[in-house]
């Protein structure tokens, strides 16, 4: 398979069907520095031909504005299967500029507007929702699923597993097949980071 790829560079062209929209929480959007998330997305584009848009935000208003721009103004919105959130936070919240916002509050901001999307959190925050919290978020936003990790960063970044996850979606549209394949190929890391999917 790899040999064939090397012989056919045209296969490297960007996949028009799928994009990843990455939003990273930073302390100050004015302070531009290359982050691990950006490097990961560049590798995804170079190695697997998966296009992405990367934005930073440092306030809840910035988060709302960025997602609103995507939802309302970007005519390719239907092509973004995954919204990748790289943000600090706790089990059921994100943290921007030392303020915590629950996923319920975020759900209400994006009511009905994330139809068919998978929101994937990197392990910069743990994701630990009870059934009611998860169901509320999915019902209010119309998202297809929320995924992330139950174990905190502890020196091991989820970036490589995130890339594997996104690449599997390029190969297969079925979310459950993707999750099964991810666990088969990367069982130890999935276990260590405690990969979770709420749907």
pLDDT tens over the chain, length 199 residues: 322 222 223 333 334 456 899 999 999 988 888 899 999 999 999 988 888 989 999 999 999 998 888 777 666 656 678 999 999 999 999 999 999 999 999 999 889 989 889 999 999 999 999 999 999 999 999 999 999 999 987 788 999 999 999 999 888 888 999 999 999 999 999 999 999 999 9
Q: Which residues, listed in sequence order, are joined to residue 84 by a DSSP beta bridge?
A: 22, 120
The helix (H) or strand (E) run that includes residue 83 is: strand 80-86
Closest CA to 67 of 23, 98, 25: 23
Give the model's pLDDT for residue 161: 95
Q: Which pLDDT score, from 0 to 100, does residue 15 have?
A: 40
- Are 199 and 147 within 8 A, CB to CB? no
Contact, 195 vs 147, CB < 8 A?
yes
Q: Which domain holds residue 50?
A: 2-198
Exposed / middle / buried, residue 151 (Cβ in 10 Å: 0-12, 13-18, 19+): middle
Give per-residue pLDDT as tens, 126-176: 999 999 999 999 999 999 999 999 998 778 899 999 999 999 988 888 899
Contacts of 79 (CB under 8 A, 6+ apart): 16, 17, 18, 19
C-alpha distances in angstroms, 10 versus 4, 13, 47, 53?
Answer: 11, 6, 12, 22
For the chain, the domain total comes to 1
What is the pLDDT at residue 72? 72
- What CATH number is associated with residue 190? 3.40.50
Distance CA 49, CA 72 (A): 26
pLDDT at 113: 87
pLDDT number for residue 103: 94
pLDDT of residue 75: 62
Q: Where are the alpha helices (DSSP H) in the chain?
A: 2-7, 36-43, 60-68, 103-109, 131-141, 159-171, 175-185, 187-193
């Amino acid at each position: 398979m790899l040999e064939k790829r090397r012989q056919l560079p045209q296969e490297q062209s960007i996949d028009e069907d799928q994009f990843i929209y990455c939003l990273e929480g930073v302390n100050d959007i004015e302070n531009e520095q290359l982050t691990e998330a950006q490097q990961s997305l560049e590798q995804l584009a170079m190695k697997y031909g998966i296009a992405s848009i990367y934005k930073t935000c440092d306030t809840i208003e910035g988060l709302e504005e960025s997602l609103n721009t995507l939802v309302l103004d970007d005519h390719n919105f239907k092509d973004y299967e995954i919204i990748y959130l790289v943000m600090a936070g706790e089990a059921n919240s994100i943290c921007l500029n030392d303020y915590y916002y629950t996923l319920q509050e975020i759900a209400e901001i994006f009511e009905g507007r994330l139809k068919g999307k998978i929101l994937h959190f990197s392990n910069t925050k743990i994701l630990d929702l009870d059934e009611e919290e998860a169901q509320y978020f999915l019902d209010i936003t119309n998202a297809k699923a929320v995924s992330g990790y139950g174990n905190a960063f502890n020196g091991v970044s989820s970036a490589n597993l995130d890339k594997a996850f996104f690449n599997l979606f390029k190969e297969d549209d079925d979310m459950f097949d993707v999750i099964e394949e991810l666990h088969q190929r990367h069982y130890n890391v999935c276990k260590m980071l405690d990969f979770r999917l709420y749907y």
